[in-house]
Amino acid sequence: MARARLLDLTRSLRRADRGATGIDRVEHAYLTQFLAEDVTTFALIRTPLGYLLLDRAGMSAFLDRLNGVTPWGKADMLSRLGKPRAQTIRQAESDLRKRTVARARRGRLPAMLAQYLTGGFDYFNVGHSNLTTRVFDAVKGASGHVHVLIHDVIPLTHPQFQRADTAETFRAKLHRVSARADRVIYNSDDTRQNAETIMQSMGRVPPAIVAHLGTITPKPNSAALPVGLPPVQPYFVTVGTLEPRKNHAFLLDLWDQMGPTAPPLLICGARGWNNAAVFAKLDALPSDSPVKELPNLEDAALAALVKNSTGVLFPSHVEGFGLPPLEALTLGARVLCNDLPVFREFLQDKPVYASVSDQLLWESTIKAWANNPPDEQNRITFIGPTWSDHFKIVLRLK
């Protein structure tokens, strides 16, 4: 008989007020998979007032709300306590409290887990949130095993692309994983190599596996696009949060270099952090600029833009994995990306690779593609890693 599972959904609650990014999608994929299997499953969520424990019914209700199938309810009085939070998050907390099988203050967490998860269980944290000594010790004290998915260690290998306080906070998280995890799940060999190099200096490298992330490509829906999209002429798309490591500055410089005859460039993603120069440049764009910022597209609309584009551009300085280029290829789009080892690991020879140190190669490729848009006969055919493949590796726990 399979051991019970406990999935940490703290990140999904904390980000209930915004669109799902790559790590969010992974947590949602685990939630969907665990609900689909005939295995006893619970979810743990940390809130300002303590911990919530959801059973299968509560997890299903949470997933329906995350997917927009069911609207959030009203925020209750308790949700006003603690630090100020977005209204949607307060509503989500209130909804989930109504659907818990148990709640516990911090000191009662071990007793709650021991009461509801008897006979041993596997705790999965796949969202980089709630990686605390309190949780790890509570899980182990209740005869649970700790499984942690590490998406990247970019805050430590490339701190120049992060907020000022991110590196030390992340180092503390990784140190706890190093000391207490029973197993680490990595999304790529590249991430594993970087993480284990750091953990060697921390004194312990936990057992580990590599399981490439899958993707569920949204069905494109051009009707969901804003008026005026897509452009009638060949156009390019870049997808990702506007943060320094995604290197939007490189594309803006490239489009400046190409001048007014440059093809349209659609920048799809929310604004992130430490990127004042890029934000200022976007804010200063004239109305007739070929560069357009599109921050809040629905998944189906974004998929339509990507599928029908002349090419999708990813000049990232560094990635832990890279779901957007994977999704672009599965939609049949051409991809031009920086020559990163992690991209070659799972995208193989399907993209065109060009170092961002070679601006001329990027420019010549973009111009060549603009003069030769893809058609149905020469679309990319790519079958990438699937969630089924991922879970066959991850859930083989012996």
The CATH number that applies at residue 111 is 3.40.50
28 lies in the same domain as 163: yes
Residue ranges in the chain modelled with pLDDT below 70? 1, 377-378, 397-398
Tell me, yes or no, whether 293 lies in a domain: yes
Instruction: Yes or no: say if 255 and 262 are a contact pair by the CB < 8 Å rule.
Output: yes
Nearest-5° angle of CA 103, CA 104, CA 110?
125
Tell me, yes or no, whether 383 lies in a domain: no
Residue 310: domain span: 222-378
What's the pTM value of the predicted model, to 2 decimals?
0.92
184 lies in the same domain as 266: no
pLDDT digits (tens, 9 = 90+) for 319-363: 999 889 999 999 999 999 999 999 999 898 999 999 999 999 999
54 lies in the same domain as 148: yes
Q: How far is 217 from 318, CA to CA, in rounded Å?
A: 23
How many structural domains comprise the chain? 2
The CATH number that applies at residue 267 is 3.40.50.2000
133 lies in the same domain as 270: no
231 lies in the same domain as 206: no
43 lies in the same domain as 117: yes
236 lies in the same domain as 187: no
Tell me, yes or no, whether 149 lies in a domain: yes
Task: List, in order, residues 6 or more apart from 144 with CB less than 8 Å away.
Answer: 6, 113, 117, 120, 121, 122, 123
Tell me, yes or no, whether 288 lies in a domain: yes
Q: How far is 340 from 256, CA to CA, in rounded Å?
A: 25
270 lies in the same domain as 178: no
pLDDT digits (tens, 9 = 90+) for 198-243: 999 999 999 999 999 998 788 899 999 999 899 999 999 999 999 9
106 lies in the same domain as 238: no
Query: Which candidate, 65, 87, 64, places its Cα nearest to that of 76?
Result: 87
Task: List, in order, residues 6 or more apart from 284 with CB less than 8 Å away.
Answer: none
Tell me, yes or no, whether 286 lies in a domain: yes
pLDDT for the residue 397: 67
Beta bridge partners of 149: 185
pLDDT for the residue 139: 97
Tell me, yes or no, whether 55 lies in a domain: yes
198 lies in the same domain as 226: no
Tell me, yes or no, whether 303 lies in a domain: yes
159 lies in the same domain as 30: yes
Widest CA span in the chain? 67
pLDDT for the residue 84: 80
Q: How far is 219 from 122, CA to CA, in rounded Å?
A: 34
Beta bridge partners of 318: none
179 lies in the same domain as 260: no
Instruction: Yes or no: say if 317 and 158 are a contact pair by the CB < 8 Å rule.
Output: yes
